Structure 1
Amino acid sequence: MAKIQKTKPNQTDRLLVIACGMIAREVLAVKEQLKLDHLELTCLPAEFHFYPDRIPPAMDKAIEKAKADGYEHIFVGYADCGTGGLLDRICEKHGVERMAGPHCFAFYQGMDAYAKIADDDMMSFYMTDFLCRQFDAFFMKPLGLDKHPELIKDYFGNYEKLVYIAQTDDPELDKVAEKAAKLLGLAYERRSTGYGDLTKELAEASSVA
């Protein structure tokens, strides 16, 4: 009896986005919004937000795996994100592009808009929809603030305001952001940004796939 040879699915016409887990929901929302049916998503752990040195080596391995799996069109769903240019070296090594900007807080607002307010926001603590949903898991418990609220001044004493960059209009997330600002002793500002440059860049990356 002849053996049935298993072959890998043809990925040459697909776009694989390798993104930060913190923006997974937003990438999928843009995919649906723009009907990018050929876009596929895989993510690195969201906790790398706190460990930027882990992003470049993990991305290197992820891209190598994607190419081995047959993907020819790959887009990196990260800005620099604290890697100090090391992520760019990985992108250059593999000939792939990444999101423009220093971090997601910038591309959510749009790079042009962010450039105008970056200096004024130097003392601002940013939150996004993801960080509102995960405020306890990403801040309260890891920093020990749930048991030692006196540490708030040590961690957040140099900030002046909390800026909630809202991707969606969700009253429950608004409440979390407002409560966080009060807890941290910061002034509060909400900016409705939507997905910012994420929409444009995913559309452009998809157009060449």
Structure 2
Amino acid sequence: MNAPPATSPEARGDVERILVLGCGALVNEMQAVVRHHGLVNVDVECLPAKLHNRPALIAGAVRERLARLGEQGKSYAQILLGYADCGTAGALEKLCEEFAAAHAAGDGPPMSMMPGAHCYEFFAGAGRFASMHDAEPATFYLTDYLARHFDLLVWKGLGIEAHPELAEMYFGNYERVVLLTQTSDGTQRVRVEACARAGAERLGLPLVIVETGYGELLDTMVSVAAPSRRGRVEVLS
């Protein structure tokens, strides 16, 4: 492997430290889980959210960030990727398998990833997302982050601003927009819903709002962490 965060955490006194390395689009949610659930032994790092539009680059970016951590001498008992497959065509799963094999040989920590195909699924839950998809397959999904940054990641990110004709190419077959909202904060909810409505209007589609909370992101982060351990929370963008 390419210089993963190695050696046992006990060797550095960082017993049971956990790394969560995720998509920059989930940084607010991952930070909130750490804060609200006492995960003081969890370090959070994020890769650029723009990788959302270039999923073929995600696995390589994960490997590079982990190699950099290894070069910095950082060590973890476990790594959780704040990604599901996310369009990587199995590349993240293969990377996790590579880490598992190295860990079994005594080289570095094990690494796991979020379940499912994408963040929409693990926020909503697999069964609930499947029901929504079955009800209307031609759905464009937004999370809170994607709603707030619709212009940057969708309108500009997909090139529609420069080439308006692409809007019909990308979205002509969609029937609705579904906002999967995570926040329970009233002020933030108003802002997010307003951004989602504005985005849906630009696409000429009706908007449906579904409250999900943090879904399996919360469940998985809590399950891999040991809240009683002492440590720091480090967030790098």
Identity across the alignment (%): 36
Counterpart residue type for residue 194 of structure 1: G
- Which fold has the larger relative contact order, with Cα–Cα distance below 8 Å and residues 6 or more apart in sequence? 2
Q: Could you tell which deviates more after superposition, 111-120 or 26-35?
A: 111-120
Partner residue, 1:91: 96
SS at match of 1:145: coil
1:59 CA displacement: 1.4
Among 54, 71, 78, the alignment partner of 1:73 is 78
Aligned to 1:123: 138
The structural deviation recorded for 1:168 is 1.2
How far is the alpha carbon of 1:48 from its aligned partner? Answer: 0.9
Query: What's the CA shift for 1:207?
Result: 3.9
Question: What is the TM-score of this pair, normalised by structure 2?
Answer: 0.78
Matched, 1:13 2:24: no
Secondary structure of the 1:19 match is strand
TM-score by length of 1: 0.88
Report deviation, 1:179: 1.5
Q: Provide the aligned C-alpha RMSD in A.
A: 2.1
SS in 2 for 1:82: coil
Tell me if the contact between 2:20 and 2:80 (Cα under 8 Å) persists in the aligned partners. yes
- Contact preservation (8 Å) 1:79, 1:103: yes
1:131-155 CA deviation, whole Å, 9 max, x = no partner?
A: 1111111122233433554432122
User: How has the CA–CA distance of structure 1 residues 121 and 33 changed in structure 2, closer, same or farther, with 3 Å as cutoff?
Assistant: farther
| 1:202 equivalenced with 2:217 (yes/no) | no
How many residues matched? 202
Contact 1:59 1:90 in 2 (8 A): no
* C-alpha deviation, 1:9, in angstroms: 6.0
Amino acid at match of 2:191: E
The Cα shift of 1:65 comes to: 3.8
1:22-101 map, 5 Å: 22-67=25-70, 68-95=73-100, 96-101=111-116
What is the DSSP-based 3-state SS (H/G/I as helix, E as strand, rest coil) of the residue aligned with 1:163? strand
Q: State the distance in 1 between where 2:60 and 2:211 align.
A: 34
Unaligned runs of 5+ in 2: 1-10, 101-110, 230-237
Distance 1:115 1:51 in 2: 24
Structure 1 unaligned blocks of 5 or more:
1-7
